[in-house]
Amino acid sequence: MGSDRINVIAALVEHKPGVLHSVANMFRRRGFNIESISVGPVEQNGLARMTITVNGDEKTIEQVVKQLNKIIDVVKVIQLDPANIVTREMALIKINVPDTKTRSDIINCVDVFRGHVVDVSPETLMIEITGGPDKIDAFLNLMKTFGIIEVARTGITALSRGPTSIKIED
């Protein structure tokens, strides 16, 4: 049996109410867990792209793709090749800042990770970090020593490298 790993699935879906519910409900019924999901409109009118990360072996992923294809509002589904994709995630992290030295140390770390300070208060900094999940995890581990107050992560979004696309023809 194949080993479990994170798999990225892209689905073009009708951009209308209830589609996300149908997809999530299919995962629930089948006992599959969604690691992350991001959804947004695409360049084609009336469609949205779902990028879903699922932990599982090849057989599980084949079942997920097969079941997604059965949902009426799902237009097209592909499993992205992990060796040929670009993935990104964005995180907002609110960090405790008790003094100016700590503030300076945090800002130095943010610069190293090519992040941005997006909000400042006397007691906190809010940082935006964009990159792969490993980069965000590394930044979060570093910030634990300062005191993380709150984190919001978008989940992974991904595109295939080169001319490969999930786009459907008009």
pLDDT score at 169: 62
pLDDT score at 90: 96
In three-state secondary structure terms, 92 is: strand
The mean pLDDT value of the chain amounts to 91
Reply yes or no on domain 86-157 having CATH 3.40.50.2000.
Answer: no
Domains 5-80 and 86-157 belong to one CATH topology: yes
Evaluate whether 104 touches 167 at the Cβ level (below 8 Å). Answer: no
Which tens digits make up the pLDDT trace of 65-79?
Answer: 999 999 999 999 999
CATH number of 5-80: 3.30.70.260
Sheet order of strands, 47-56 included: 34-41, 47-56, 5-14, 74-79
- Domain spans of the chain? 5-80, 86-157
pLDDT score at 1: 39
Sequence length of the chain is: 170
Which tens digits make up the pLDDT trace of 43-101?
Answer: 888 999 999 999 888 888 999 999 999 999 999 999 998 889 999 999 999 999 999 99
Which tens digits make up the pLDDT trace of 143-167?
Answer: 999 999 999 999 999 999 988 777 7
β-sheet bridge partners, residue 128: 92, 116
pLDDT above 60 for 134: yes
pLDDT score at 50: 94
What's the per-residue H, E or C state across 77-96?
EEECCHHHEEEEEEEEEEEE
Split at pLDDT 50, 70, 90, the class of 6 is: confident
pLDDT above 50 for 2: no
| Chain centroid offset of residue 1 CA | 27
pLDDT score at 126: 98
